[in-house]
Every structure is written in C-alpha cells, then in structure tokens.
Structure 1
Amino acid sequence: MKQSLKAALISGLLFPGLGQILVLKRFARGCIFLLPTLAGALYILRVVMAQVNVLAGQLANGTIPFDIAMIAQQIAASRTEGPAMTAATLACVLCWSASILDAIFFGNDHHYHHPHPQQGQS
C-alpha cells in the first residue's frame, strides 16, 4: 500500500493530521490539520456537555418528566448554534477534508520530502 494512501486512511478514519505525522513524518504539516480540528472538537464537546448537564439536572430535579418526546424537544430547543459553533464545525470539516486530500495528493511527492543531491557537482 502506498504511503499516501496509508496517511489518507489514518487522517480520514482516526484524526486529521495523524497520517502526515505518523506515516509521512511531516510533523509541522500534520499539526496544520490536527490543531484546528482539535480546538474545534474540544469547543463542540464543551458546548454539548454543558447542554447535557443542564438536561441531566432538569431530569434529576423533576423539572421535566422522563419522557422521550419531552427530552427530544428539550434537545431540539437547546441553543447550540451561533458563530462560534459554526466556526468550530467548519474548522473540523475543512481540516478533516484537507488532511485527506493533502495526504493523497502530496504524500508521494518525493521531491518535497527528500531532496536529491545535484548532479554534476563533485
């Protein structure tokens, strides 16, 4: 299997940038994809966990009954949209896609990673 395909699969299935770091040995290039995705994912997780805590508190206090339809309605009514959530989601999607494409298109570029010595010089 080509190194570029391995890197693309790792970046696509595990986490963006990991293919560049682990397979292609391009640490800086991998961090370009990994860090924004990680920041976006952590922000999304923080917002979701805050909503889960509110809902769990309401269920524990008896504020809302344990009714699946009511819980689904509360989730739908929760405020998770906004510019920060949009930016975090967009960062995750774009970095994930770009990481896969980068690994496929530039993963086998031997001139990029391993410069050849100039011929004709002694």
Structure 2
Amino acid sequence: MNKVVYVPAFFEPVGKNKTVKVSTGEKKKGFFGGEKGVTRKETQWEQTGWSDCRIDGERLANDLAEIVSGLNSEGYEIVSVTPVTSGSYDWKYELKSGGYQSSGYGGYGYGYGYSFTNSLIVTAKKIA
C-alpha cells in the first residue's frame, strides 16, 4: 500500500531593522529629584510582509522532516520526494508615434519570468 503526502512551501518573511528603546529595569534620579527609568537603544527586526519570489527553505525542510518522521512511525518507507515548481511573469510593450513630424514610430518593451518551489510531494510505501 502506498501513501502520498502534499507538503506546501511558504514564502519567506521580509522586513527591516528598527531601533527601539528598551527598559533596563534600572532607575536614576532626575534633575528635580524624581526617578525615571533607564533605557537603551536596541535594533530589532520587524516583519513587514512576505516575499513574492523566495520560499522559506528552512521551514520547508522542517515540515518535510516532520512528515517523514510521521510516516516512518506509521510503518512507511519513503520512496521519493518530488518538488513541484510554479512560476510568475510580467511584461509590458508600448508603441508610440513620434519622430520628425510624427512620421516615425518608437517604443519599448520588457518581460521577465521566474520559477519557485511551490510544494513537495512525498510518496511512501507500507513496509510489510
């Protein structure tokens, strides 16, 4: 008996470094005798969204390891792990009249495409 398991890939989180003030827990006396908390500046990474072209390879590897471990504990032997590739593209082309006394034509165009691992398909066979 065979079993097929789908392991989705997720895009990588993207973000930026942000400087924040963090309390040290210490207090110091102020100019007028009051106490105020001491802070220090710290740089922290803040997620702003998700990549549209790079997958999170570390997460995919961990998800695959979890699936393989589960199948092995159920008595299955892994036969194959097949990547599923997907892709995206964009293009633009524009032709305009122009030149000397509007008798000529000119224009431009561009296009690009890329592929990425969309998921993995794990095929396993029941050990007799």
Structure with bigger helix share is 1
Same fold (TM over 0.5): no
Greater length-normalized contact order (CA 8 Å, ≥ 6 residues apart) = 1
User: TM-score under structure 2 normalisation?
Assistant: 0.22
* Bigger radius of gyration: 2
Scaled by the length of structure 1, what TM-score is found? 0.22
Bigger fraction of residues in strand: 2
